[in-house]
């Protein structure tokens, strides 16, 4: 990308973070960059005035102004840079959050290549935050303005000298920039392996896994493996740095030789009277001031890296648009759907990057307003079926329809509002208990009575009311005044969130192993209450517990990506097939007191 386009792109990105702050940083940087050339000219004028016996008031006044301006602008530039750092970090974080969360599908979220780009854009790989580029904007602008204006001063006295110096500076800058570029390529090329190393560091710092890391004695192993992995990747980077050092030293010597020759020429002309003392002083200082153009300083790398960060953000946005998993053919309203039936019609689906499909020509009909239980062995495709129904993915072949309308023709956000779900890996939001329920229907977040009622119906209210600050208590011990819930209490809270969504207009309820952390009696109570409260709502239940499954209006058995049995509990037991065998096995274990909830 050309220098001009890169500069425009940088300024637009910084202005998007904070336009006024960017303008202030640019103004201070430009003015600061003019101070060295102004000092060179004014000191030359002062020497000339003294030599001629003229008044020194004017050049001395300029020198004083330059000196005071420098003293004032240095701390101003530092403070503006710190503020810019924070603003740019916040702006990049906001853009990354939008890029990852806005697309309604999941494919880009689970794509390793997208995760690599996210790590690069977030500064995890380089070990610095994007906002550091904002801090460096002022200093780098200062150097460029100082160098360019100083070179113009040189050209005003000896045009050929300015051309020679410009060529030398461009050569040295290119060599240095190439070296930094090579190091960056090596660093970015190791993103997947560095991510694995950083994962180990995260494990050592995260309280969620602290119990197991201590019980199994993993702490020392994780620290050692992190150190070995990180050092292993960094050695190649250090080697690349060493290889570029010799070229950098050579170019620096070449530039220094040319600069010494230029200064020597100026001194010779001044000593022999072919150049006035005033011009000699000005030209010598201008050569020194222009020398900054030869160096690709750390700030240049930060700005170049920020361009790469912008590229990564755009790639992540593009991945969300194209591989977010959803084909946006139209945006029909999903309001009121389904009224009659949801149908999987010849659905074939494989996860991105995998050749073996989870489903091949799957056919399934789900009657609206009734409950359906899905059972099967682990890996049979039960959760994948839920993801397709929720339209977190689109099928590769076939269609999922609601009342005959392909879900791909519906507004994804509108269909998602029709879904209430308690997933197997439900989220334990580290926010207030109130918001943990309110997230089921954000448009009703202010309706406290409805939120409390949903929690009461799900059996979560007693635990919440005993928290230190009641409904406003953050549900994490990592925040001041926070508290932690038990596994069963968290599941009841997740059920309350789904129930709040149903009572706020969701028409399809998905329960994917929602009560695994509850005992059998607690599960029975939750389901008995839940099925009663959601009567008339299309309900899909995935569970290994047949005491739960048998309550559904209809049961299907999924095996190897196909529906192999379909019917009511009594009908399937009468067939003495796969369902009957799984039910009998689990029932026998309960009778003998060795219930294995994963028997199915």
Question: Is residue 580 a part of any domain in this protein?
Answer: no
Query: What's the helix, strand, coil split of the chain in %, to 5?
Result: 65, 10, 25
Same domain, 139 and 259: yes
181: left (phi over 0), alpha (psi -120 to 50) or beta: alpha
Question: Is residue 583 a part of any domain in this protein?
Answer: no
Total domains in the chain come to 3
Is the predicted pLDDT of residue 422 greater than 60, yes or no?
A: yes
Is the predicted pLDDT of residue 587 greater than 90, yes or no?
A: no
What does DSSP say about strands 359-367 and 341-349: parallel, antiparallel, or unpaired?
antiparallel
Count how many Cα atoms sit within 13 Å of the Cα of residue 111 in the half-sphere of its side chain.
Answer: 22
The set of residues, in sequence order, having a beta carbon less than 8 Å from that of 343 and lying 6+ positions away, is 364, 365, 366, 400, 401, 404
**pLDDT tens digits for 331-350?**
899 999 999 999 999 999 99
Q: What is the 8-class DSSP label of residue 389?
A: H
Same domain, 307 and 177: yes
Domain ends where: 456, 488, 506? 506
Same domain, 141 and 241: yes
Tell me what pLDDT residue 379 has. Answer: 84
Same domain, 524 and 486: no
Indicate the pTM of the whole model: 0.84
CA 36 to chain centre: 41
Q: What is the 8-class DSSP label of residue 474?
A: B
d(CA 139, CA 494) in angstroms, rounded, equals 51
**pLDDT tens digits for 274-324?**
999 999 999 999 999 999 999 888 899 899 999 999 999 999 888 777 655
CA 60 to chain centre: 54
| 577-to-348, 399, 583, 586, 591 alpha-carbon distances in Å | 25, 29, 10, 15, 21
Q: Name the nearest CA neighbour of 433 among 416, 413, 454, 411.
A: 454
User: Read out DSSP for 415-427?
Assistant: HHHTEEEE-TT--
Burial class (CB in 10 A: 0-12, 13-18, 19+), 456: middle
**pLDDT tens digits for 539-558?**
999 887 787 788 889 999 99
CB crowding 126-137: b at 16 or more within 10 Å, else e: beebbbbbbbbb
Helix (H) or strand (E) holding 589: helix 578-591
**pLDDT tens digits for 492-537?**
899 899 999 999 999 999 988 766 666 666 666 666 666 677 878 9
Same domain, 187 and 244: yes
Q: Which residues pair with 372 in a beta bridge?
A: 540, 554
- Range of the structural domain that residue 232 is part of: 1-324
Same domain, 389 and 360: yes
**pLDDT tens digits for 154-196?**
999 999 999 999 999 999 888 888 877 877 877 788 888 888 8
Tell me what pLDDT residue 524 has. Answer: 66
Same domain, 24 and 96: yes
- Assign residue 471 the CATH number of its domain: 3.40.50.300
CB-CB contact of 35 with 332 (8 Å): no
**pLDDT tens digits for 64-81?**
999 999 999 999 999 999
CA 516 to chain centre: 31
Q: Name the nearest CA neighbour of 468 among 477, 456, 459, 455.
A: 477
Tell me which long-range contacts 48-53 makes (C-beta under 8 A, separation of at least 24).
48/276, 48/277, 48/278, 51/277, 51/278
Same domain, 390 and 527: yes
596 pLDDT band (50/70/90 cuts)? Answer: very low
Domain ends where: 459, 484, 506? 506
Domain ends where: 469, 485, 506? 506
**pLDDT tens digits for 234-268?**
777 777 766 666 777 888 888 899 999 999 999 99
């Amino acid at each position: 990308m050309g220098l001009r386009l890169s500069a425009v792109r940088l300024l637009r990105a910084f202005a998007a973070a904070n336009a006024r702050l960017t303008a202030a940083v640019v103004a201070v940087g430009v003015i600061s960059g003019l101070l060295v050339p102004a000092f060179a000219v004014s000191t030359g004028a002062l020497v000339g005035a003294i030599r001629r016996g003229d008044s020194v008031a004017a050049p001395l006044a300029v020198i004083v102004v330059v000196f005071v301006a420098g003293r004032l602008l240095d701390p101003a530039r530092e403070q503006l840079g710190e503020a810019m750092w924070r603003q740019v970090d916040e702006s990049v974080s906001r853009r990354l959050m939008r890029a990852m969360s806005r697309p309604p599908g999941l494919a880009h979220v689970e794509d390793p290549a997208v995760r690599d780009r996210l790590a690069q854009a977030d500064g995890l790989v380089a070990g610095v935050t994007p906002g550091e580029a904002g801090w460096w904007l002022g200093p780098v602008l200062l150097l460029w303005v100082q160098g360019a204006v100083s070179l113009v001063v040189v050209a005003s006295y000896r045009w050929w000298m300015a051309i020679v110096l410009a060529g030398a500076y461009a050569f040295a800058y290119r060599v240095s920039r190439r070296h930094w570029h090579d190091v960056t390529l090596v660093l970015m090329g190791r993103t997947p392996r560095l991510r694995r190393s950083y994962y180990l560091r995260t494990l050592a710092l995260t309280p969620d896994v602290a119990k197991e890391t201590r019980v199994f004695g993993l702490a020392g192993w994780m620290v050692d493996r992190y150190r070995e992995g990180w050092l292993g990747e960094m050695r190649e980077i250090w080697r690349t740095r060493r290889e570029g050092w010799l070229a950098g030293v050579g170019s620096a010597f070449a530039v220094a030789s040319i600069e010494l020759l230029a200064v020597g020429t100026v001194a010779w002309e001044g000593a022999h009277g072919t150049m006035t003392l005033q011009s000699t002083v000005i030209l010598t200082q201008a050569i020194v001031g222009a020398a900054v153009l030869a160096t690709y300083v750390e700030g240049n790398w930060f700005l170049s890296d920020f361009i790469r960060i912008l590229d990564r953000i755009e790639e992540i946005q593009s991945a969300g648009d194209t591989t977010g998993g959803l084909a946006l053919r139209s945006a029909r309203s999903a309001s009121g759907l389904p009224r009659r039936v949801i149908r999987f019609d010849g659905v074939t689906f494989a996860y991105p990057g995998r050749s073996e499909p989870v489903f091949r020509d799957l056919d399934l009909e789900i009657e609206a307003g009734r409950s359906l239980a899905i059972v099967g062995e682990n890996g049979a495709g039960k959760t994948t079926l839920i993801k397709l129904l929720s339209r977190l993915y689109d099928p590769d072949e076939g269609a999922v329809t609601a009342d005959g309308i392909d879900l791909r023709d519906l507004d994804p956000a509108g269909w998602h509002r029709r879904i209430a779900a308690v997933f197997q890996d439900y989220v334990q939001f580290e926010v207030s208990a109130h918001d943990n329920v309110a997230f089921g229907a954000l448009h009703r977040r202010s309706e406290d009575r409805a939120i409390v009622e949903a929690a009461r119906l799900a059996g979560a209210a007693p635990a919440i009311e005993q928290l230190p600050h009641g409904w406003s208590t953050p549900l994490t011990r990592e925040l001041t005044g926070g508290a932690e819930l038990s596994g069963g209490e968290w599941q009841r809270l997740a059920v309350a969130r789904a129930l709040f969504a149903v009572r706020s207009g969701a028409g399809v309820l998905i329960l994917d192993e929602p009560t695994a952390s509850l005992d059998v009696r607690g599960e029975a109570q939750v389901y008995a209450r839940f099925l009663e409260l959601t009567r008339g709502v299309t309900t899909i239940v995935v569970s290994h517990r047949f005491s739960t499954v048998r309550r559904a209006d209809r049961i299907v058995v999924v095996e190897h990506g196909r529906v192999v049995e379909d019917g009511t509990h009594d009908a399937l037991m009468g067939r003495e097939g796969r369902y009957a065998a799984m039910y009998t096995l689990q029932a026998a274990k309960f009778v003998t007191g060795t219930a294995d909830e994963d028997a199915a």
